[in-house]
Amino acid sequence: MRLEEYWGVGPKTRETLVDELGRERAIRAIESGDVRALADAGLARGRATRILRRATGGAGMDLLSTSDARSAYKELLDLAVEHAVTQRAADRIRVLTPLDSRAAMEDRLDDVLAARDAWVGLTEADRAAVLEAYERYDEREGSEHAAVEAAMALLQAGVDSGPFAAIADLERERLADAADALAALDGGRVRAGADDELDRLRDALGAVEDMDANALAVIEDLRSAGVHDAEEFRQSFEDHLLTETDVTIDRVRDAMPTDATDATDFVGGALRTLRSDLTSAVDEREQAVATDLEETLETARDAIDRAVETVDDIALHLSLARFALEYDCTRPVFVDGDAAAVSVVDARNLALAAHDDESVQPVTYALGDHGVTDVPDGVDSVPGEERVAVLTGANSGGKTTLLETLCQVVLLATMGLPVPADRAEVTPVDSLVFHRRHASFNAGVLESTLRSIVPPLSTGGRTLMLVDEFEAITEPGSAADLLHGLVTLSVDREALGVFVTHLADDLEPLPPEARVDGIFAEGLNPDLELLVDYQPRFDTVGRSTPEFIVSRLVANASDRTERDGFETLAEAVGNEVVQRTLADARWTNGE
């Protein structure tokens, strides 16, 4: 395959990759999703990630039909990356994409949940040992040596259940030999400490080189010690070499010149010969040691490759397991065949949970052929089996958050990952249309929005529509007509969908296959903050709550003139309601 055939690889990128990696290695890096290799070759990390997502999961990326769907996908990856145990695992998480087969989703879920259960089952000491092993792995930049050392550390820790079971299958003795060999080699050179004889020769060469650089001082020292005739000088110089350089006496004597004209010529000649002799000896010894080490690595190659793969796979699944544990995620149930559903029981929005988990109100919601039979207190009925719903209700009532939560659940499930709900049912879809509220009131925005959200409904396949306040991009009358058309089109194409709007009354009559759900504000608390029950009520139109907002403005007015203005608005929305709201808040406060 030519490099240019991969998405995002043009002539310039191809040239960069070939120059730095070579064609075959570049292709292997792309096929294996190796972000680091592409980044080290000179590609920006973000560009490398985008190329690899398309190369390894192009069909899954096609599911993301809108820019908001792609943004939600990236936000999920960012949250998951925070729990990565290595940089390599973080890179692999960043290139995860929605999967295009139920079997692949189930397989990844099996791996992640097995890792979660295994991690929970470890003692604190074992978990610390695993994280320490991966911390050292990262410090060594994920090299083969780092991977083998991490594998040895995991073997030493004795973790061998679930996804860690692959560690127990590694060849401990062969890996130990490989670890020593990898530690000894550095780019083909033999490191200090790997071989005693090589270290001795290197030390001797270094001492001779130092002596050669100070030959005149050596001669002066010998003369100052009372050495005068040639034979005595020769013997003293020999003793000095043996004492200071750890060179063998035979090598010293072989280096002594026989035709030197004076002491300077004698010392210089001897040192030059010793340098040359020791340099050859060092090179010869290093070559022999390196050959032995490389033979050890060649013998252990399969064991090394398995260790690298095992350590990386465990790191990925452990990272995803830690993410699932952080947000108390569970396995989704897939609904296939003619049935279609998206349902959640006590689902949590991850973006909110990441900031303050205690303040997140879980919600229950369902579309299609779901199995939700219990609803929270205060909700009069279970959701019907309509596949399309119009969601109405209070400002700041969590409607957008519910759309985001459903989007997160569907994305995670189709990526083969646990979801933030006590229970969830998901039908894998071919197109995810997620449209956040965009307050840009012009024809260009309307046209581009329609171009992004209508085609997925028209091209066949299963579509999930999550559309937030479509009316914000055009005038209310036209918005109601267009939104009604979108709801009708979604019903006709048997899509699943939730449409958030304040125009529920203007959409009547909706198709009988669609329902209206509502979220309600319940008043103001003593601090005049809006109290909202974020749990939707089914087959019930929610209402906006301007009287609560105006009540707060009246109460918080800083001067009489400002208060008069807000009281005029209170008359418009119903002054009696405003006054009752304020009285209820004061009564609750004990005033």
Cα within 13 Å of Cα(232), Cβ side:
7
Q: Find out whether 342 and 406 touch, Cβ atoms under 8 Å.
A: yes
Confidence band, pLDDT 50/70/90 cuts, at residue 459: confident
- As beta bridge partners, residue 343 has 366, 425
Q: Does 161 score more than 80 pLDDT?
A: no
64-76: buried (b, 16+ CB within 10 Å) or exposed (e) per residue? Answer: bbbebbeebbebb
pLDDT score for 576: 65
Residues 389 and 307 in one domain: no
Which tokens belong to 23?
Answer: 């064609």
Residues 250 and 282 in one domain: yes
Locate tokens 């979604």: which residue? 490
CA distances from 414 to 101, 186, 246 (A): 9, 43, 68
Supply the range of the domain harboring residue 192.
Answer: 101-327
In a domain, 171, yes or no: yes
Q: Is 267 within 8 Å of 240 (Cβ atoms)?
A: no
Domain end point (choices 544, 564, 582): 544
Q: What is the mean pLDDT of residues 14-36?
A: 89
Mean pLDDT estimate for the chain: 87
Last residue of a domain, one of 312, 327, 342: 327
Q: How many domains in the chain?
A: 2
Tokens matching residue 448? 């581009």
pLDDT above 80 for 356: no
Query: Taking the mean position of all CA atoms in its chain, how far away is CA 147?
Result: 19
Residue 578's pLDDT is 56
User: 525 lies in a domain?
Assistant: yes
Residues of the chain above pLDDT 90, percent: 45
Residue 590: the pLDDT is: 47
Written as six digits, the tokens of 510 are 């909706």
pTM of the model: 0.82
Phi, psi of 498 (to 5 degrees): -130, 130
How far CA 437 is from CA of 126, 357, 369, 468, in Å, comes to 47, 25, 28, 5
Per residue in 407-432, pLDDT (tens digit) is 999 999 999 999 999 999 999 999 99
One domain for residues 107 and 155:
yes
CB 588, CB 525: distance < 8 Å = yes
Residues 302 and 363 in one domain: no
Residue 320 shares a structural domain with residue 455: no
Query: Over the stretch 213-268, which tens digit does the pLDDT of each residue have?
Result: 888 888 888 878 777 678 888 888 888 888 888 888 888 888 888 887 888 888 88
Q: 416 with 540, same domain?
A: yes
Q: How confident is the model at residue 575 (pLDDT cuts 50, 70, 90)?
A: low
Nearest 5 degrees, angle CA 63-CA 67-CA 68? 95
Same domain, 199 and 180: yes
Say if residue 145 is in the same domain as residue 199: yes
Range ranked top by mean pLDDT from 380-389, 441-450, 547-556: 380-389
488 and 358 in a common domain: yes
Residue 46: pLDDT over 80: yes
Percent of the chain beyond pLDDT 70?
A: 91
Written as six digits, the tokens of 323 are 């993410």
Confidence of residue 591 (pLDDT cuts 50, 70, 90): very low
Please give the pLDDT value at position 507: 86
